[in-house]
């Protein structure tokens, strides 16, 4: 049966042709031959969003953003997750931040667990140092706000997000890092207000940027992350004490981002987080032309137990550094040295690479 609406359309097209001539006929023919595709426009990308904070706000004393340095705890490089400080209370309910499906539950070194949730093809999140609820397993579907575990009280609560469509640019050799690091994003920015503002208000960071940062590498400069020479690319991303001991970082304090830090895993010097003295050269400006440089290390101490603000103590040693190539640096640590007088490398010097 003829379609009346189609007949009306063709009549109007013919009238258009008569008024506009041959060119009008061509366009009119194409309009008639090619059906309209209303409703088939490609959908916009769905940006990752979080809906629920894993802990109740009243239970969170403070938040440490991305980029924490804790060499003695296995974080020689700036951390790719944030921390929710709940004062080590046990058995607080931990909730799913967004709906999804669990794709991994991994045991942690403190005999608790890391729960990883896939939200969609591009986005996942994880919550670590949790004791999962009974019956929760790989493949379990979880709903936003659902209780998935309880705090173990053995550590702060780790909270990380991974967006495969967002890649950090500040790693000279991204192949040395796990995908969860290369594609990490701050969980805090994924919430909507008022919850986002409430979470930001708990962040211990003396900066307008409350999300933090983890990728400080600059090609050809000392600043950023380094790996002991000989550590393979495959081994570099393994989360083990043997790998952490072979890491070295020149970065910035997570609480006071203007403070320059040296994070040492234990091979070049005793494992620890050190600040650079005010008169030490800036690692972001040190390159091959700088030659041999002396970095005076101090031990930053908190002013009080409930404050993120630190103050440097007296020098605890000197780290000699010299860029041999844009991707290799030679370093050696000398304890209890003020940096005065002539110093040079000995056979104890180590070489690190990107």
If the chain, 354 residues long, is cut into consecutive pieces of 10 residues, what is the mean pLDDT of each piece? 42 41 40 41 68 98 97 95 97 98 93 96 97 96 98 95 97 96 97 97 96 98 98 92 96 95 94 93 97 91 51 80 98 78 86 98
pLDDT at res. 170: 97
- In the chain, CATH 2.70.70.10 covers 45-213
* Phi, psi (rounded to 5 degrees) for 242: -65, -35
- Per DSSP, the chain holds a count of helices (H) and strands (E) of 5, 18
Secondary structure class of 97 (helix, strand, coil) = coil
Cβ atoms of 75 and 115 closer than 8 Å: no
pLDDT at res. 14: 39
pLDDT at res. 301: 60
Chain centroid offset of residue 155 CA: 19
CB neighbourhood size of 122 (10 A)? 16
d(CA 241, CA 235): 12
| Residues whose CB is less than 8 angstroms from the CB of residue 268 and which lie 6 or more positions away in sequence, other chains included | 248, 319, 331, 332, 333, 350, 352
Query: Full-prediction pTM beyond 0.85?
Result: no
| Residues whose CB is less than 8 angstroms from the CB of residue 234 and which lie 6 or more positions away in sequence, other chains included | none
45-213: which CATH architecture?
Distorted Sandwich (2.70)
Secondary structure class of 73 (helix, strand, coil) = helix
d(CA 275, CA 278): 9
């Amino acid at each position: 049966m003829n379609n009346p609406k189609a007949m009306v359309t063709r009549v109007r097209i013919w009238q258009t042709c008569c008024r506009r001539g041959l060119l009008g006929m061509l366009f009119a023919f194409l309009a008639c031959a090619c059906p309209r595709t209303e409703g088939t426009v490609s959908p916009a990308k769905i940006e990752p969003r979080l809906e629920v904070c894993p802990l109740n706000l009243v239970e969170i004393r403070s938040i440490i953003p991305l980029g924490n340095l804790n060499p003695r705890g296995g974080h020689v490089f700036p951390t790719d997750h944030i921390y929710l400080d709940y004062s080590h209370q046990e058995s607080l309910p931990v909730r799913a931040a967004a709906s999804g499906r669990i794709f991994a539950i991994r045991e942690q070194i403190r005999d608790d667990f890391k729960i990883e949730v896939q939200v969609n093809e591009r986005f996942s999140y994880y919550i670590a140092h949790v004791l999962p609820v009974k019956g929760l397993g790989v493949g379990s579907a979880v709903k936003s706000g659902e209780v998935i575990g309880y705090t173990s009280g053995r550590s702060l609560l780790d909270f990380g997000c991974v967006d495969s469509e967002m890649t950090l640019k500040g790693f000279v050799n991204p192949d040395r890092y796990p995908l969860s690091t290369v594609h990490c994003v701050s969980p805090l920015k994924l919430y909507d207000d008022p919850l986002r503002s409430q979470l930001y208000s708990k962040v211990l960071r003396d900066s307008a940027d409350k999300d933090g940062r983890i990728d400080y590498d600059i090609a050809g400069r000392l600043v950023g992350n380094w790996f002991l020479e000989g550590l393979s690319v495959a081994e570099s991303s393994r989360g083990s004490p043997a790998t952490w001991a072979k890491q070295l970082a020149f970065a910035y304090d997570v609480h006071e981002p203007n403070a320059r830090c040296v994070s040492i895993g234990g091979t070049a010097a005793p494992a620890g987080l050190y600040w650079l003295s005010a008169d030490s050269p800036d690692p972001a400006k040190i390159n091959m032309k700088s030659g041999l440089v002396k970095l005076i290390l101090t031990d930053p101490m908190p002013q009080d137990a409930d404050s993120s603000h630190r103050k440097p103590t007296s020098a605890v040693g000197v780290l000699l550094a010299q860029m041999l190539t844009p991707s290799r640096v030679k370093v050696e640590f000398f304890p209890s040295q003020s940096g005065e007088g002539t110093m040079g490398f000995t056979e104890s010097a180590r070489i690190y690479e990107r």
